[in-house]
Structure 1
Amino acid sequence: MHILLILAGAMLVAIAYNFFLIPHEILSSGLSGIAIMLGIISPLNTGVLNFLLNLPLLVLGVMKLGKKFIAYTILSVVSLSIFLYIVPVIQLSTEPILSSLFGGVLTGAGVGLTFRASASSGGFDIIAMLLARKRDFPLGTLLSMMNAVVIVAAGFLFSWDAALSTLIAIYATGKVVDTIHTKHIKLTLNIVTSKGDELCEKMLKNLYRGITVMDAKGAYSGESRSMLMTVITRYQLNEVKQMIHEVDPHAFVNITQTVEVMGLFHRE
């Protein structure tokens, strides 16, 4: 199911780029936007450039981030690069504003599906996550700062009309992504289970998140249990729920939205 979502998301993004954004020299957010820009001013295909730009970050992500998350992200980047290479560049609309809106909406839908599959589209997401682990900067601020570079580059290389259209596309993408899947919401999980050691080992192996283990006792049954407490990001929830179900389908899980996290949430 996750793989199908990732492939569908990549196809939507490729259609958005090649049918709406690239024909009007409108960029998207992140490294994909830089790939579009380089594809317009050079003879190289946007899909090839997207893969080459993401490749070093994916290698770094394999070493620094969760294995399943980065595996799905690699699939997302590779499939998007292939679809960008296969799908022809066709100008469906002659109106740049409409193209930026529809392109942004389709891109947001594709990226949102990717996040729902516990993956990311690579690029600036990986950079922001790695930087945030070393400094206590919010991910949203880091992503906004990096996307601002793309907008300014569009203005200098093409025109400021293209830059403003890029801004519209990025804004539309962000709104649709938030509607489908809010990627940076943090959640606190309290998991009461009879298989605490096994579940803790599995989560530590597959997630870049710390876990606090406490002894618990059922008030009614009097039986001893383990309670695992951890804070995750919203796009990791499906992955964590699957791990819990695989180890202990009868575990009691309380999931609450977290307003703020202080301490070592982003650090090794």
Structure 2
Amino acid sequence: MWNIVSILFGSFLVGIAYNFFLIPHEVLSSGLSGVAIMFGLITPLNTGVVNLLLNLPLLVLGMIKLGKRFICYTIVSVVAISVSLYVIPIVEVSTEPILSALFGGIITGAGIGIVFRASGSSGGFDIIAMLLTKKKEFPLGSILTAMNVVVVLASGFIFSWDAALNTMIAIYATGKVVDMIHTSHVKLTLMIITAKGEEVKGKLLANLYRGVTQMNGEGAYTGEGRAVLVTVITRYQLTDVKKMIHEADPCAFVNVTQTIEVVGSFHRAS
């Protein structure tokens, strides 16, 4: 229930950012929501309706190909964002486009970061990127960046290049705030030190489609034996994995670090 409340709150923030800061100045956001804003500006359709329609086929495909819990939370976020865009009036809070792009991007990043922390996503390009990475080991960050470049170029050709530059400001601000609240790293390495090695290992292997390497360690102060588990995960799995570890061993020590590159199989290994 707390995850659902967090997702609803984060999605509401995104709706506020769009209708109060970005849309009044023809500034697009990152991802498929940016495409929805663009169609909402050049057609009579409401942006919320367009956002829902664009995400529907991806959500159906994601339900089949990706984890059901992740997609269910994403559906909640997409619907909440779409409803927020529909019911919140479009108000020009600031007459300055650059300030609007900056603050709109910051608020959008806060909302999306909250959704990420609750094990969901705001849909759109995130789902596309995750589907592509399941087929082949594409660099997720590069895929999302390339898709956002298309959004920026479309903004420049359809509206103006001032709008495109402001869109870049909004996207950059969004990414930085998401980094602060959650993490934007493509992959993360977890080192887990625990006295309940078998329980933690069993939990991870049963629920995580990733390899886990186990080593034996010893506490320098106590001299007691400890299991040291190492695994590499994606950013979307971090919240769920931390919950699994806590359920198996609330006293486990977990070190999370950014992984620059993974060579070899990123699935079942070790």
Per the normalisation by structure 2, the TM-score is 0.85
| CA shift for structure 1 position 94 | 1.8
Q: What is aligned with 2:127? A: 126
Alignment of 1:1-268 (within 5 A): 1-191=2-192, 192=194, 194=196, 196=198, 202-204=203-205, 206-207=207-208, 209-212=209-212, 214=214, 216=216, 228-251=229-252, 253-265=254-266
Cα gap change, 1:252/1:152 in structure 2, threshold over 3 Å: closer, same or farther? closer
**For residues 46 and 205 of structure 2, what CA distance do their matches in structure 1 show?**
39
2:75 touches 2:123 (CA, 8 Å); kept in 1? yes
SS in 2 for 1:187: strand
**SS of residue in 2 equivalent to 1:232:** strand
CA–CA distance in 1 between the matches of 2:248 and 2:182? 26
Q: CA deviation at 1:259?
A: 3.4
User: Percent same amino acid at aligned positions?
Assistant: 65
- Aligned residue type for 2:128: I
C-alpha displacement of 1:253 = 4.3
- CA contact under 8 A between 1:26 and 1:162: conserved in structure 2? yes
Q: Distance in 2 between matches of 1:170 and 1:15?
A: 16
Letter matched to residue 211 of structure 1:
G
Q: Which runs of 5+ in 1 are unaligned?
A: none
Give the letter aligned to residue 210 of structure 2. G
Deviation at 1:226, TM superposition (A): 6.9
Whether contact under 8 Å (2:175, 2:184) holds in the other structure is no
Tell me whether 19-28 or 54-63 shows the greater mean CA deviation: 54-63
Q: Any gaps of 5 or more consecutive residues in structure 2?
A: none
Once residues 24 and 91 of structure 1 are traced to their aligned partners in structure 2, the CA distance between those partners, rounded to angstroms, is 8
Could you tell me how far 1:266 is from its partner in structure 2? 6.8
Aligned residue for 1:189, secondary structure, equals strand
Partner AA of 1:212 in structure 2: V
**Alpha-carbon spacing, 1:205–1:36, altered in 2? closer, same or farther (3 Å):** farther
Count of residue pairs brought into register by the alignment: 264
Q: Check whether the contact 2:196–2:248 (CA below 8 A) recurs between aligned residues.
A: no
How far does residue 50 in structure 1 lie from its aligned partner after superposition?
Answer: 0.8
Q: For each residue in 1:140-191, what CA deviation from the matched residue of structure 2 results, as whole angstroms up to 9, or x when unmatched?
A: 1111110011111111212222112211211121122222222225322344
Q: Structure 1, residues 41-60: CA drift from partner, whole Å, max 9, x if none? A: 11211111111111111122
How far the C-alpha of 1:132 sits from its partner, in A, is 2.2
Q: Which range moved further: 164-173 or 211-220?
A: 211-220
After the TM superposition, which of the residue ranges 115-124 and 65-74 deviates more from structure 2?
65-74
